[in-house]
Amino acid sequence: MVLDSLILQSKLFFTEDMGIEIEDIVRKEKSAELNLKSHTAMIGVGGELNMMVVISFDTPMLNKLVEVFMEGEDVAPEEEEEIKESVTGEVINTIIGLSIPTFPKRGKGVTITPPISINDASNIKKHKDSKIVSANIKTHYGELSISAIIAKDVLK
Amino acid sequence: MLKILIVDDSLIIRKKITTIVEKLGHEVVGQAKTGEEAIDIYEGVKPDLVTMDITMPDMDGITAVKHIIEMDKNAKIIMVTSHGQEDMVIDSIKAGAVGYMLKPITDEKLAEVIGEVFLEYACDEHEDDLELSDDDL
């Protein structure tokens, strides 16, 4: 399952690369809509899989990730927003990159788009021919959700 | 000391590579957020090494490699890539990149690829030393 791969690689990335322990994971296999947190990034996966992957962070969680990425260096106020967007993009890029080789039915020639950031949006609603699978991941620094919006025929 | 051009749309990655490059005693001579910017800057600064992201808005890294190699067939370009982009890495190498580095970027990985470029430079210089002049003949 795509969601299993995303959860596993997220766990590995946050615990091993970022040093952030996971406290709980809640799966949602069938969501009509995706409720977004304060900071969101999205990547399109092309090829036979053809889906969108969305990662969404609470602010304290993203702040912790920025701290880890910056390795103790201060962030200039004028760069703060771009750094946050950069970090959300890098996190989703890394998790997708690690997950793709483990996706079932991925076929050959899988491509990924550059990440895009979504600001000031509260939810994404699915189309009738798509399915949203999602996991809410709880840490000491707040929560994040990782989700895939997949065409139904890909799941057959 | 090598002159290095960093090409990546992510500010955090440009900062990270800059920190490591400077720690290793090299000079960052330019930074670009897109492939098009990279081509413009390359012409002006003629770096010894380029670190190039693969997926970027407007012009991707593979296309940028092709353009830079057209301008300078000896350009040394290292692709910076994530897991799962193996097909794109192969396309980049076919386009003229000399190597790649998988994220997450670490001091050790970057030092290793820069070391490889240094070695090649050393060999190139050594070959020049070995060239015989007319007097030698």
Kindly list the residues from chain A whose CB atom is less than 8 angstroms away from the CB atom of residue B55.
93, 112-114
Q: Do B84 and A113 touch (CB under 8 A)?
A: no
> Which chain B residue's Cα is nearest to A85?
B10
> Which chain A residue's Cα is nearest to B55?
A114
Q: What is the CATH number of the domain that holds B114?
A: 3.40.50.2300
Q: Which residues of B touch A (CB under 8 A)?
A: 9-13, 15-16, 19, 55-57, 81-85, 87-88, 103-104
Model confidence band, residue A74 (pLDDT cutoffs 50, 70, 90): confident
Residue A154's pLDDT is what? Answer: 55
* Interface test with chain B among A51, A67, A68, A90, by most B beta carbons within 10 Å: A90
Confidence check: pLDDT of B132 > 50: no
B1: helix, coil or strand?
coil
Q: Do A101 and B82 touch (CB under 8 A)?
A: no
Percent of chain A with pLDDT over 90: 53
Residue B124's pLDDT is what? Answer: 54
Q: Do B83 and A98 touch (CB under 8 A)?
A: yes
Q: Out of A50-59, B33-42, B83-92, B120-129, pick the least confident.
A: B120-129
Q: Do A70 and B15 touch (CB under 8 A)?
A: yes
Q: Report how many domains make up chain A.
A: 1
Residue A102's pLDDT is what? Answer: 85
Residue A153's pLDDT is what? Answer: 63
Residue A114's pLDDT is what? Answer: 83
Please give the angle made by the CA atoms of B46, B26 and B92, to the nearest 5 degrees. 55
Q: pLDDT, tens digit, for every residue of A95-134?
A: 998 888 888 776 677 788 888 888 777 778 777 778 899 9
Q: Measured between alpha carbons, how far is A99 from A95 in angstroms, rounded to an integer?
A: 6
* Interface test with chain A among B13, B81, B83, B103, by most A beta carbons within 10 Å: B83
Q: Do B56 and A83 touch (CB under 8 A)?
A: no
Peptide bond into B104 cis (omega under 30): yes
Q: Do B16 and A69 touch (CB under 8 A)?
A: yes
Q: Do A97 and B103 touch (CB under 8 A)?
A: yes
A68 and chain B: CB distance < 8 Å anywhere?
no
| Other CB atoms within 10 Å distance of the CB of residue B116 | 15
Model confidence band, residue B122 (pLDDT cutoffs 50, 70, 90): low
Q: Report how many domains make up chain B.
A: 1
Model confidence band, residue B134 (pLDDT cutoffs 50, 70, 90): low
Terminal alpha carbon distance of chain B: 35
A70 and chain B: CB distance < 8 Å anywhere?
yes
Q: Do A69 and B104 touch (CB under 8 A)?
A: no
Distances (CA, A) of B24 to A142, B19, B107, B111: 36, 9, 8, 7
Option in B15, B57, B85 nearest A97 (CB): B85
Confidence check: pLDDT of B121 > 60: no
Which residue, B103, B119, B4, is CA-closest to B53?
A: B103
Average pLDDT rounded to a whole number, residues B21-36: 94
- A-B contacts (CB, under 8 Å): 60
Residue A1's pLDDT is what? Answer: 80
- The answer to whether the complex's ipTM is over 0.90 is no
Higher pLDDT, B134 or B42: B42
Model confidence band, residue B129 (pLDDT cutoffs 50, 70, 90): very low
Structural domain for B112, as ranges: 3-136
Structural domain for A132, as ranges: 2-154
Q: Out of A5-9, A34-38, A137-141, B63-67, pick the least confident.
A: A34-38
Q: What is the CATH number of the domain that holds A99?
A: 3.40.1550.10
Q: Measured between alpha carbons, how far is A81 from B11 in angstroms, rounded to an integer?
A: 10
